[in-house]
Amino acid sequence: MAADVKMTKMDSRLLDKRSDCVSLAVVTVHLFVVACPVYLAAAVGPHWLLPCCWLFFGLSMNGVLNMMHECSHYHMFKDRRWSDWLGRRVLAPFVFADFDAYRRRHWDHHRFVGVDGDTKDTYLIDIRGWAFLRMIVRCALMGEAIKKFFKQTSEGTAPERQFHGWVSNILVFQSLFALSILSVSRTFHASLGWDVACYYAVLAYGAVYLYGLMSLTILMASLRAIAEHQEYDDGSAQCGRAALRNFTCHPVSRYLMGAYGFGEHYTHHRVPSIPYYRLKAATVNLADEDASFRPGKGYFGVLADIVTR
């Protein structure tokens, strides 16, 4: 399912990339909003707001994964080096990932979607009936997160220096991130001493950030993949064992699931060279000639259908 849709001369404008200044502003604001609950937790310490911070952060981080996907396609910035730097030095370490291995796996998913060689198998998880609750429990116990992390470390395809490179990126980023959380905690609790400030920082880092990422974010990313590609009788386009769908998104579902063009997932698979902020227009153009590109149900509607079928 590579780029097998021919773009007309008029459509070629959909390949144009916007100003890097605009993209930098979008990235900065988004990462600030996503990280705020972690710093808020460090500022308030043990408080009833902690579960709210965990919930908001864990749900929001799915959008960061989507941003990393755009970096893997070199779409976040006009200058490819910026997309590489953001993906490799910030986003991948933020989610404990190897960016280059992720890019390789993702492009294999594009090349072999729904057939042998497809590197994405999350969408095959059965969530019908009680299986949905079992999946929630696995994510809550961090089983899915641990499985995904060790899957990327067991590939065995990258040279040793590359392995050391992405691990070093994680260690550097996480050290700076942890220190920034400690700084916020110390600023708000200086009168209580360093021991209390460290305790509140560890609470924010562990309970909100780490557990939010390893439970809620993994759950949301898995459900997103299932909605995008799991087959059922909804009339969506098919490729092998995978469905291909475009979704109707409202602001909440766009933020939680469909950020960075994921709501136009079918269109992205057909023309992966289009940056995310032009996928809506591309979908309208393509739907004029092929009804299968028309957005169907939203993410949560598709998931409800799969769970209850």
pLDDT in tens, 53-95: 999 999 999 999 999 999 999 999 999 999 999 999 999 999 9
Measure the N-to-C terminal CA separation of the chain; round to a whole number of Å: 28
Tokens encoding 26: 């979008």
Helix extents (H) in 120-264: 130-140, 143-153, 160-188, 194-203, 211-212, 218-229, 251-256
Residue 80 lies in a domain: yes
Residue 146 lies in a domain: yes
User: What's the domain range around 196?
Assistant: 19-238
Residue 213 lies in a domain: yes
Per-residue pLDDT tens digits for 204-218: 999 999 999 999 999
Residue 282 lies in a domain: no
Structure confidence at residue 147 (pLDDT): 86
Residue 64 lies in a domain: yes
Residue 66 lies in a domain: yes
Residue 309 lies in a domain: no
* pLDDT at residue 249 tops 90: yes
* pLDDT at residue 226 tops 80: yes
* Contacts for 247 with CB less than 8 Å, ≥ 6 apart: 227, 253, 257, 258, 263, 264, 265, 295, 296, 297, 298, 299, 302
State how many domains the chain has.
1
* pLDDT at residue 158 tops 80: no
Residue 258 lies in a domain: no
Structure confidence at residue 7 (pLDDT): 56
* pLDDT at residue 161 tops 60: no
If pLDDT is split at 50, 70 and 90, which confidence band does 162 have? low
Considering just the CA atoms, what is the radius of gyration of the chain in Å? 20
- Give phi and psi for 82, each to the nearest 5: -65, -45
